[in-house]
């Protein structure tokens, strides 16, 4: 039976579970690829040839951020809230698979899936869109950033689903969050610099803002001060931690009083 | 093993469970929990497992992981064949785990291993959870209406298997069921609940004697039998039956002789849980005034 540690079998189970979710595959893999190819063809045509690669890069990097948001925020929340509605996590918990272990297995399997989706997205985009070749450090940096953003988004999605326990409100909240993040991080056509100052302050506490706006400098090997980027990660992680603790408190198993 | 004192569970303003007298579940106990819908049976299990808020005391040396439960409804993911679910939950390999293979064979579940959960029949779904629960080999196992929704044949077969599995097993067993034959086959103690309160708790034999007498004789409830037995002491029984309480063998012989003489079919019992239950409930509803008056 179970000890309190992650097992390869539980991880393999969660990977199968993630791959079996068509919603995540459609919105996390196919959607960003199609959007990036479409946007690239429509938008870059309006720019002079010398600027097209940079525009392509901007489209590529912005839509790359859709992958963690679609798979680990929306897709995961939809999948996990349906599991909660059917009491599947509780059933596993009653078999001795504790909540932290379940979360860890889901986190790792979903991150594996997200990295796979990002690799597929990058390879396909490189075949169809003209992108500049990144420096190796930028690729490693991107990998770390994706893992961190993905982890934080999954913890938020997991906690929201635990707090509501139902698909409907969970989906509504994560969808609202998804669009709010897209707007705040400048992925919906309006630049962060065009927002009022207090909204800009909020946007600057979200790591995706820096990915859409500044990451191209790192990709191209330019010097970039990452201090504010790191602070945004800490702020975003703190937000996730607060929601997570709230969800743990709400779903705790009761002891005698 | 588990000691319950002054336990109260409320859902909003409604008191779902209000146990005043101590309840103790010991090692090796075979406890049946009975009561009408809404009596608080499942709530009691949920309180013991820490799944609902409660006030009062549930004292136990057991950790949550040392208790196993088969809930009324048990669901699993639909994205993979059940063999992967089994292996992940039990953290083992079906091929290498002799005890698991034995259980799978015992419950004839082998042909279902490559199927997805949603394609299993009701009985197969129940067997899947039973296998997982029994593999836990917990100090206490709760079965909450394991057989509800199953056809008669599957139900009988499943209970026979569970009964066989628990022979010579020292772990405690708690069963919620509306089927008295299941309780009769698997339990020797009863906890009777109504509207969240304990009506009776103890060994089935002792409760039977308290509410029904040493034994009972049961006949069909028809016009002929009613006329024939008019004037005899009767106790509460399901609508289609008439039950006579007997205080000793002489009383039993007297009734049986009379029935045989009049060519009436009868059944004798000293452990009929259904009749025990209806009489316990009747006595409780009448405020304890309706005592059993057995025939001498």
Q: Render each residue's pLDDT in chain B as its tens digit; 296 residues.
A: 899 999 999 988 899 999 999 999 999 999 999 998 889 999 999 999 999 989 999 999 888 888 999 999 999 999 999 999 999 999 999 999 999 999 899 888 999 999 999 999 988 999 999 999 999 989 999 999 988 777 888 888 888 888 888 888 889 999 999 899 889 989 999 999 999 999 999 999 999 999 999 999 999 999 999 998 888 889 999 999 999 999 888 888 999 999 999 999 999 999 899 999 999 999 888 876 555 444 44
Q: Which of A22, A28, A17 is nearest to A178 (CA)?
A: A28
Are B105 and B187 members of one domain?
Answer: yes
* C-alpha torsion sign, points A32, A33, A34, A39: positive
Going residue by residue through chain A (257 aa), what tens digit of pLDDT does each one get? Answer: 555 566 899 999 999 999 888 878 888 889 889 988 988 888 888 888 888 888 888 888 888 888 999 899 998 999 999 999 999 999 999 999 988 899 899 999 999 999 999 999 999 999 988 888 888 888 888 899 999 999 999 999 999 999 999 999 999 999 999 999 988 988 777 788 889 999 999 999 999 888 877 888 888 778 888 899 899 999 999 999 999 999 988 887 665 44
**Residue B294 located in a structural domain:** no
Give, in order, the Cα–Cα distances in Å from A67 to each of A61, A174, B211: 10, 15, 67
Q: Are B162 and B186 in contact (CB under 8 A)?
A: yes
Are B180 and B280 members of one domain?
Answer: no
Residue B17, domain CATH? 3.40.50.300
* C-alpha torsion sign, points B25, B31, B34, B37: positive
A194 touching B (Cβ < 8 Å): no
Q: How far is B161 from chain A (nearest CA, A)?
A: 21
B65 touching A (Cβ < 8 Å): yes
The residue among B203, B223, B241 that closes a domain is B203
Q: Are B188 and B203 in contact (CB under 8 A)?
A: yes
**Residue B293 located in a structural domain:** no
Are B277 and B145 members of one domain?
Answer: no
Task: Considering only the beta carbons, identify the residue of A2, A253, A257 that sits closest to B91.
Answer: A2
**Residue B136 located in a structural domain:** yes
**Residue B135 located in a structural domain:** yes
Q: Are B193 and B47 in contact (CB under 8 A)?
A: no
Are B229 and B156 members of one domain?
Answer: no
Are B219 and B139 members of one domain?
Answer: no
- For residue A6, the model assigns a pLDDT of 66
List the end-to-end C-alpha distance of chain A, in Å, as a whole number. 30
Task: Considering only the beta carbons, identify the residue of A12, A88, A97 that sits closest to B77.
Answer: A88
Give, in order, the Cα–Cα distances in Å from B174 to each of B2, B159, B202: 12, 14, 13
B157 backbone dihedrals φ, ψ, rounded to 5°? -65, -45
**Residue B295 located in a structural domain:** no
Q: How far is B209 from chain A (nearest CA, A)?
A: 35
| Best of B77, B83, B137 to mutate (most A CBs within 10 Å, chain A) | B77
Beta bridge partners of B68: B141
User: Tokens standing for B214?
Assistant: 């040493």
Question: What CA–CA distance (Å, rounded) separates B239 from B226?
Answer: 12
The residue among B168, B203, B238 that closes a domain is B203
Residue B247, domain CATH? 3.30.70
Q: Which of B212, B257, B207 is nearest to B237 (CA)?
A: B212
User: Tokens standing for A210?
Assistant: 């820096």
Are B103 and B164 members of one domain?
Answer: yes
Chain A (47-86) residues lying within 8 Å, Cβ to Cβ, of chain B:
83, 86
The residue among B143, B174, B203 that closes a domain is B203
A19 touching B (Cβ < 8 Å): yes
Q: Are B149 and B142 in contact (CB under 8 A)?
A: no
User: What range does the domain containing B239 cover?
Assistant: 212-285
Are B189 and B220 members of one domain?
Answer: no
Are B279 and B217 members of one domain?
Answer: yes
Instruction: Count the domains in chain B.
Output: 2
CB atoms within 10 A of CB B74: 24
User: Complex ipTM, two decimals?
Assistant: 0.82
Question: What CA–CA distance (Å, rounded) separates B295 from A132?
Answer: 99
Are B27 and B129 members of one domain?
Answer: yes
DSSP, res A26: I
Are B17 and B153 members of one domain?
Answer: yes
Are B11 and B134 members of one domain?
Answer: yes
**Residue B43 located in a structural domain:** yes
**Residue B291 located in a structural domain:** no
Q: How far is A2 from chain B (nearest CA, A)?
A: 7
Q: What value does the mean pLDDT of chain B take?
A: 90
Q: Are B79 and A104 in contact (CB under 8 A)?
A: no
Q: Measure the CA angle with vertex B94, ends B89 and B100; round to 5°.
A: 80
CB < 8 Å to B85, chain A:
13
**Residue B172 located in a structural domain:** yes
Are B16 and B114 members of one domain?
Answer: yes
- Give the β-pairing of B30-34 and B189-194: parallel
Cβ–Cβ below 8 Å for B91 and A88: no
């Amino acid at each position: 039976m179970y000890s309190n540690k992650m097992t390869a079998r539980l991880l393999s189970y969660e990977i199968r579970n993630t791959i079996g979710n068509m919603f995540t595959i459609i919105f996390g893999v196919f959607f960003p690829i199609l959007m990036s190819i479409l946007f690239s063809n429509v938008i870059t045509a309006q720019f002079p040839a010398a600027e097209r690669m940079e525009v392509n890069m901007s489209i590529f990097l912005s839509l790359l951020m859709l992958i963690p948001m679609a798979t680990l925020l929306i897709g995961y929340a939809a999948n996990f809230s349906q599991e909660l509605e059917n009491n599947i996590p509780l059933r596993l918990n009653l078999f001795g698979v504790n909540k932290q272990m379940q979360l860890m297995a889901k986190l790792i399997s979903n991150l594996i899936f997200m990295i796979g989706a990002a690799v597929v997205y990058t390879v396909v985009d490189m075949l169809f869109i003209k992108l500049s070749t990144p420096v190796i450090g930028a690729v490693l940096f991107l990998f770390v950033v994706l893992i961190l953003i993905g982890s934080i988004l999954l913890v938020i999605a997991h906690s929201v689903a635990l707090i509501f326990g139902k698909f409907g409100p969970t989906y509504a909240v994560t969808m609202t969050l998804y669009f709010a993040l897209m707007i705040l991080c400048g992925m919906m056509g309006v630049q962060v610099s065009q927002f009022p100052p207090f909204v800009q302050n909020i946007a600057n506490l979200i790591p995706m803002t820096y990915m859409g706006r500044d990451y191209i400098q790192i990709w191209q090997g330019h010097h970039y001060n990452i201090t504010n980027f790191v602070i945004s990660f800490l702020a975003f992680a703190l937000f996730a931690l607060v929601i997570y603790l709230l969800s743990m408190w709400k779903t705790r198993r009761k002891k005698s009083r | 093993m588990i000691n319950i004192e002054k336990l109260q569970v409320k859902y909003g303003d409604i008191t779902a469970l209000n146990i005043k007298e101590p309840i103790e579940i010991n090692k090796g106990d075979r406890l049946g929990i009975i009561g009408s819908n809404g009596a608080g049976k499942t709530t009691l299990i949920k309180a013991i497992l820490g799944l609902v808020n409660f006030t009062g005391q549930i004292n136990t040396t057991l950790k949550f992981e040392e208790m196993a439960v088969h809930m009324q409804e048990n669901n699993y993911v639909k994205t993979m064949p059940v063999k992967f679910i089994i292996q992940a939950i039990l953290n083992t390999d079906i091929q290498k785990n002799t005890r698991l293979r034995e259980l799978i064979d015992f419950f004839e579940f082998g042909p279902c291993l490559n199927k997805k959960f949603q394609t299993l029949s009701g009985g197969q779904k129940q067997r899947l959870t039973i296998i997982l629960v029994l593999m836990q080999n917990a100090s206490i196992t709760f079965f909450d209406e394991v057989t509800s929704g199953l056809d008669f044949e599957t139900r009988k077969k499943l209970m026979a298997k569970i009964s066989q599995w628990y022979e010579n097993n020292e772990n405690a067993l708690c069963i919620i069921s509306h089927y008295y034959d299941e309780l009769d086959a698997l339990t020797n103690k009863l906890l009777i609940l109504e509207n969240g309160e304990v009506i009776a708790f103890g060994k089935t034999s002792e409760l039977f004697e308290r509410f029904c007498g040493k034994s009972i004789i049961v006949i069909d409830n028809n016009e002929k039998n009613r006329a024939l037995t008019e004037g005899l002491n009767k106790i509460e029984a399901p609508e289609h039956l008439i039950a006579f309480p007997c205080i000793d063998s002489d009383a039993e012989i007297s009734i049986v002789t009379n029935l045989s003489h009049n060519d009436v079919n009868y059944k004798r019992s000293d452990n009929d849980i259904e009749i025990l239950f209806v009489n316990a409930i009747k006595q409780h509803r009448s405020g304890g005034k309706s005592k059993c008056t057995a025939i001498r």
